Amino acid sequence: MTRVFSGIKPTGHLTLGNYLGAVRRWVEVDQYGTDALFCVVDLHALTVDHDPARVRRLTRQAATLLLASGLDPELCTLFVQSHVDEHARLSYVLECVATDGEMRRMIQYKEKAALERGRGGSVRLSLLTYPVLMAADILAYGTHEVPVGDDQTQHVELARDLAVRFNQRYGQAFVVPRATHPKVGARIMNLQEPTSKMGKTDDVGPGIVYLLDEPDVVRKKVMRAVTDSGRDVVYDREERPGVANLLEILAACEGGNPEDLSGAYESYGALKKDAAEAVVELLRPVQERHKALCADPAYVEGVLRLGAEKARGMARPRVDAAYRAIGLLSS
């Protein structure tokens, strides 16, 4: 059976980008007919300046929102990364296979390190080694497919490289995974800065739609989205990134194709109005279920406890085998 693994960081409130680029596919496609694990990757949230209480709160909130989005614990395994020691155990071994040059070439490292330095902070070593821990997250489970947004392609490539290198040097231990992306919505852009990805830790708040935004807040953000000069509605990501992003959002919400949709609009205003309503309708059931789940925190905790137990059982034999293969004595 195909093994699927993916994760989300509790670094901020979940966004429309997270939902359209990753979570919705997990819910609608990946949890069916596969052996899927989904993880709130809290260790990754410690790689940048963080408030401990906030990370704990966001971890619980992310798990609750994943359930509210429709992940079904009967169909998949949902857990918190730090509850399963195997991730950190394997990460160290993979650090002995990866090189520092490989880490420094990672686009996300360069971007996030520049951001930290720009804010006057220092760069944590864990930000540099983050992709190795992510490779461990994936490889520990013998993962075949990693459903992610566009921005994670390079990290999944690294996981592939490390798997191949380890297998060649020390014997077959890991499955070589591949990234999968949704056809539409793999890179949702910030509404105020349509040349930058919408990210939950961005500074440009009004350009980010959060899953828990009230309908009127969603409407306001979408109606105020930066559009391009020119007036006709065409789908051109290079020349007209603002309009292309709105078309992409509308198409992703309605299951259509952004290029086809562009012909249906004569003004930016009409497009914004439809995109805003489509997002409001998309989020409505998620928000309703989230409210209900917040009233039952014991249920969410139970799901995570069981998920961690299952995940531990799946990861341990492979990580133990990798320890032996690389030269460590069994205990």
Q: In Å, how far from its chain's centre is CA 252?
A: 17
Catalytic residue list contains 200: yes
Q: Is 183 a catalytic residue?
A: no
In this structure, what token pair is assigned to residue 220?
Answer: 């306001």
Name residue 38's beta-bridge partners.
6, 78
Q: Which is nearer to ligand ATP, 199 or 307 (CB)?
A: 199
Is 17 a residue that touches ligand ATP (CB under 6 A)? yes
Cα dihedral 108, 109, 111, 113 sign: positive
Would you count residue 91 as binding ligand ATP (CB under 6 A)? no
Q: Which residue is nearest to ligand ATP (CB)?
A: 21
Q: 51 or 74, CB closer to ligand ATP?
A: 51
Alpha helices per DSSP H over 171-206: none
- Residue from the set 132, 136, 188, 322 that interacts with ligand ATP by CB under 6 A: 188
Contact yes or no for 236/269 (Cβ under 8 A): no
Q: Is 297 annotated as a binding residue?
A: no
| One-letter identity of residue 142 | G
The least distance separating ligand ATP from the CB of residue 232, rounded to whole angstroms, comes to: 26
Binders of ligand ATP among residues 109 to 148 (CB under 6 A) are 148
Q: Give phi and psi for 8, each to the nearest 5.
A: -140, 140
Sequence-distant (≥ 6) Cβ neighbours of residue 189 within 8 angstroms? 195, 196, 197, 198, 241, 245
Would residue 221 show up in a list of annotated catalytic residues for this protein? no
Contact call for residue 283 and ligand ATP (CB under 6 A)? no
CA distance 219 to 278: 10
Least distance between ligand ATP and beta carbon 317 (Å):
27
Catalytic position from the list 200, 220, 273, 310: 200
Residues forming the annotated binding site for ATP? 9-11, 17-18, 149-151, 188
Residues lying near ligand ATP in the complex (CB under 6 A): 8-9, 11, 15, 17-18, 20-22, 148-149, 151-152, 186-188, 197-201
